[in-house]
Amino acid sequence: MPSASNPGPVITETIVVAPSAPVRPSWSKWVRITLLVVGAALVLAFPTIAPNPYILSAGVVILNYAVLSTGWNFMGGFTGYISLGHAAYFGLGAYGTALLIRNFALPSFLAWFVAALLVAIIAIPVGIAALRVRGASFVIVSIAFVLILLLVFQSWRDVTGGSEGLTVPRPFPDLLRPEHHRVFYYLFAALLAVALAVWWIIDRSKFGTALKSIREDEDKSQSLGVPTTQYKLIAYVLSAVFVSFGGGLYALWFGDLDPIFQFSILIGSYMVLMALLGGVRNLFGPLLGAVVVGSALEYFKLEFGDTQFHLIATGILLGVVVLFMPDGIIPAVKALFTRSSNQASIREVTAGELLEENRARSAETVPPRRPDASGEETP
Amino acid sequence: MSASLLLQAVILGVLLGGLYALLAAGLTLYFGIMRVVMIAHAAFLVLAAYLAWWINREMGIDPLLSLVVTVPLFFVIGVLIQRLLVSRLKPLTLTMMSVLLTFAVALVIEGGLGFLFTGTQRRIPLSYASDSLNLFGAQVPVVKLIAFGLAALSLALLFLLLKYTRFGQALRATIQHPEAARLVGINTDRVAGYGFGLGLATAAIGGTALSLDATIYPSLHWHWIGPLMAIIVVGGLGSIPGAAIAALVLGVAQSLLQLPMGPTWAQTVFYIALFLTLMFRPQGFFGGRLAKRF
């Protein structure tokens, strides 16, 4: 880190001083490992704990949400481009799987893979168009893409079955319903594990760092030689593929597709809400958000049935998260356990916070330097 | 297909385009002022239509009279949304977060409408609903003419307000360069709030016009927000004349395509235009650099 060798920051208009490296207590690592093991054990043991098949099916739905939201986070979390239209890839994955099985008699899980491949091919031109412009237009295209697919899948009756929906042949026709839920619960858990692993690998890679630099300041990132357009496109397609896997598995599990549900903007907004609520910068943020929001949604459906109450609740929750907790639960909880607010390393500080910090620094005549801030590289 | 049918389609397209233009002007205002993409615009449109329907049902007065209530009400709501919600967001992530915030507002409105009035489709019974005028051999419904007249009048008023009043100058200055506007003594926060109010007032007028001849239901706004957002991108984000031209062109195109393709497929013209615009001219066709026009 530059602050280690320099005698002291020169007082100019703007000084960029790397904040001191986070001092992680030694127990922190063990807490993480314990939490991970306990969490994984809870997820794997859920089918045996679940009192009845209904609760188990709710568990499958929540895991599905977790897969979708983690998939969304490849784009939203790394690059900061918020897509409200990822339901498009959920629907395409589901319908693609169903149509490939029905029309080409592919084996269920082969169809699932081929559908994801096709989605990747579709996502490339859409991504190129959407990423030509920043921010606002990207969101507009993402929403428009869902709306157009909804129109197409509702109107193109001959192929998609239109509003009557489409039944998907079951991959395991001789399984009883509770067993069916249990098998798909583990399939979804495995898919989630793969998505989390890939996210974790990218998070620690150079590619991931480049994506995060796009999130913080796209112009600077470009000027440092990051091929921003290509990287954004890769992240977008990767994200679409994982969401499509989630959709395809949903089709195989649920067995009945309806365009209004598959291509609903609401599904896309759930992905955003879950990821934001948990924390888009954290590996397990979307999963945590999916557990919270997914359980709440299942509860609302059970209690209030067909009323529009879940819409109001979703809207209010989204508004509260955006206004008061845009970084999510995980950073908020972490902040409870860490004393100083100045402990984050540079890559976990947003450009805005850094700017404010630097302003505060340049306002002081001599920036106080702590002796222990020797600038050790974070492990 | 006969010439009169074609003429009728063009006239209906222009009439529809007028309504699109008014609503797109509102969206353009929000974007110009604060780089906010207001997803809830169409939800407020449907809310205004519901208010017109409700006032008509409860008091039996003409839905056009509901404007007296809805326009000031929506203006106030717009100011409050800007002051209480949008201005609290961090400037760096404003565009993205404002999308989510206004999306949340749209969900609350849709859910609230469904909660209060159920999902049943509603329509205002009007004595003149089926009247039509004969224009050069084309049958044009009177209600569509009224809707267009309302939209055109409001657009003209908006134009005059922005172009010739002190407030309009202050608003345009705020759009062009907020810091410079503050330096010359403009209270940009207040002006931005009023700008939001104006934008939302267009939704009130548009919603009342819509309620005259459309069947309304809570989730209707999704069918409006897509085309409207396509229009503002094709026109060039931030340009009101660009949005108006794009609205008219796309409105006519939609109306013409309805003849061979039917209403559902004709809607795709908006999305195709959006896609092509982003591929070949991402800054939009008529706008150019942001907010240079007003």
Cα nearest neighbour of B226 on chain A: A144
Cβ <8 Å between A312 and B90:
no
A243 is a domain residue: yes
- Assigned token pair, B198: 């104006």
In this complex, the residue of B31, B88, B264 whose CB is nearest that of residue A151 is B264
Ordered by start, the domain boundaries in chain B are: 3-12+28-219
Cβ <8 Å between B89 and A322:
yes
DSSP character at residue B122: B
Average of per-residue pLDDT across B88-108: 86
A329 is a domain residue: yes
CA separation, residue A376 to residues A52, A371, B184, B215 (Å): 52, 12, 49, 66
In this complex, the residue of A132, A307, A350 whose CB is nearest that of residue B282 is A132
Angle formed at CA A244 by CA A240 and CA A247, multiple of 5 degrees: 145
Average of per-residue pLDDT across A65-87: 92
Percent of chain B at pLDDT exceeding 90: 29
Cβ <8 Å between B115 and A309:
yes
Residue B106 has pLDDT above 80, yes or no: yes
Cβ <8 Å between B275 and A154:
no
- Least-confidence region, from A149-153, B138-142, B170-174: B138-142
Cβ <8 Å between A307 and B222:
no
Chain B residues touching A129 at Cβ < 8 A? 275, 278-279
Cβ <8 Å between B89 and A323:
yes
ipTM for the predicted complex comes to: 0.85
pLDDT at A24: 63
- Least-confidence region, from A177-181, A336-340, B20-24, B29-33: A336-340
pLDDT at A376: 45
Query: Would you place residue A345 in the very low, low, confident or very high pLDDT band (cuts 50, 70, 90)?
Result: very low
Cβ <8 Å between B278 and A141:
yes
Chain A residues touching B271 at Cβ < 8 A? 144-145, 147-148
Task: For residue A285, give every residue at least 6 positions away whose Cβ sits within 8 Å of its Cβ, in sequence order, or none.
Answer: A73, A77, A275, A277, A278, A279, A328, A329, A330
Please count the structural domains in chain A: 1
Chain B residues touching A260 at Cβ < 8 A? none
Cβ <8 Å between A154 and B37:
no
From the candidates A78, A138, A140, which should be mutated to test the interface with B, based on the most B CB atoms within 10 A? A140
Query: Would you place residue B193 in the very low, low, confident or very high pLDDT band (cuts 50, 70, 90)?
Result: very high
Cα torsion B19, B23, B24, B29: sign: positive
From the candidates A79, A126, A147, which should be mutated to test the interface with B, based on the most B CB atoms within 10 A? A147
Residue A367's φ and ψ, nearest 5 degrees, are -65, 130
A40 is a domain residue: no
Q: How far apart are CA B220 and CA B218, in angstroms?
A: 6
Residue A136 has pLDDT above 90, yes or no: no
* DSSP assignment string, A244-257: HHHHHHHHHHH-EE
Burial of A70 (0-12, 13-18, 19+ CB in 10 A): buried
In this complex, the residue of B88, B113, B226 whose CB is nearest that of residue A323 is B88
Query: Would you place residue A358 in the very low, low, confident or very high pLDDT band (cuts 50, 70, 90)?
Result: confident
Give the residue ranges of DSSP H helices in A108-217.
108-131, 136-155, 157-160, 177-204, 206-216
CB B115 within 8 A of CB B122: no
Q: Which domain holds residue A260?
A: 50-363
Query: Would you place residue A238 in the very low, low, confident or very high pLDDT band (cuts 50, 70, 90)?
Result: very high
Residue A16 has pLDDT above 60, yes or no: no
Chain B residues touching A72 at Cβ < 8 A? none
Average of per-residue pLDDT across A323-344: 71
Percent of chain B at pLDDT exceeding 70: 97
pLDDT at A1: 41
Query: Would you place residue A19 in the very low, low, confident or very high pLDDT band (cuts 50, 70, 90)?
Result: low
Cα nearest neighbour of A144 on chain B: B226
Nearest chain A Cα distance for residue B238, angstroms: 11
In this complex, the residue of B97, B113, B282 whose CB is nearest that of residue A322 is B97
In this structure, the number of other CB atoms found within 10 A of the CB of residue B18 comes to: 26
In this complex, the residue of B97, B99, B107 whose CB is nearest that of residue A311 is B107
Cα nearest neighbour of A142 on chain B: B226
Query: Would you place residue B64 in the very low, low, confident or very high pLDDT band (cuts 50, 70, 90)?
Result: confident
pLDDT at A379: 41
Nearest chain B Cα distance for residue A3, angstroms: 26
Residue B287 has pLDDT above 70, yes or no: no
Cβ <8 Å between B278 and A319:
no
Cβ <8 Å between B96 and A265:
no
Nearest chain B Cα distance for residue A21, angstroms: 25
DSSP character at residue B291: T
Q: How far apart are CA B125 and CA B140, in angstroms?
A: 19
pLDDT at B292: 34
* DSSP assignment string, A36-102: HHHHHHHHHHHHHH-SSHHHHHHHHHHHHHHHHHHHHHHHHHHH----S-THHHHHHHHHHHHHHHH
CB pairs under 8 A between A and B: 142
Residue B37 has pLDDT above 60, yes or no: yes
Residue A378 has pLDDT above 50, yes or no: no
Q: How far apart are CA A323 and CA B85, in angstroms?
A: 8
CA separation, residue A353 to residues A203, A338, B91, B95 (Å): 21, 18, 11, 18
In this complex, the residue of A128, A141, A323 whose CB is nearest that of residue B101 is A323
Chain B residues touching A265 at Cβ < 8 A? 222
Average of per-residue pLDDT across A156-178: 81
Cβ <8 Å between A132 and B278:
yes
Q: How far apart are CA A86 and CA A245, in angstroms?
A: 12
pLDDT at A2: 45
Nearest chain B Cα distance for residue A26, angstroms: 35
Average of per-residue pLDDT across B52-76: 89
Helix-then-strand count for chain B, H and E = 11, 2
pLDDT at A350: 67
pLDDT digits (tens, 9 = 90+) for B246-281: 999 999 999 888 888 887 788 888 888 988 888 787
Cα nearest neighbour of B238 on chain A: A136
Chain B residues touching A83 at Cβ < 8 A? none
pTM of the prediction?
Answer: 0.83
Q: Which of A343, A111, A55 is nearest to A247 (CA)?
A: A111
- Assigned token pair, B165: 């009043």
Cβ <8 Å between B230 and A315:
no
From the candidates B83, B93, B113, which should be mutated to test the interface with A, based on the most A CB atoms within 10 A? B93
In this complex, the residue of A82, A129, A311 whose CB is nearest that of residue B275 is A129
Average of per-residue pLDDT across A277-284: 88
pLDDT digits (tens, 9 = 90+) for A177-214: 888 889 999 999 999 999 999 999 999 999 999 999 98
CATH number for the domain including A330? 1.10.3470
Strands B132-135 and A166-167: unpaired
In this complex, the residue of A80, A137, A310 whose CB is nearest that of residue B278 is A137
pLDDT digits (tens, 9 = 90+) for B119-152: 788 888 877 777 777 777 777 888 888 889 999 9
DSSP character at residue B216: B
Cβ <8 Å between B225 and A318:
no
Residue A7 has pLDDT above 70, yes or no: no
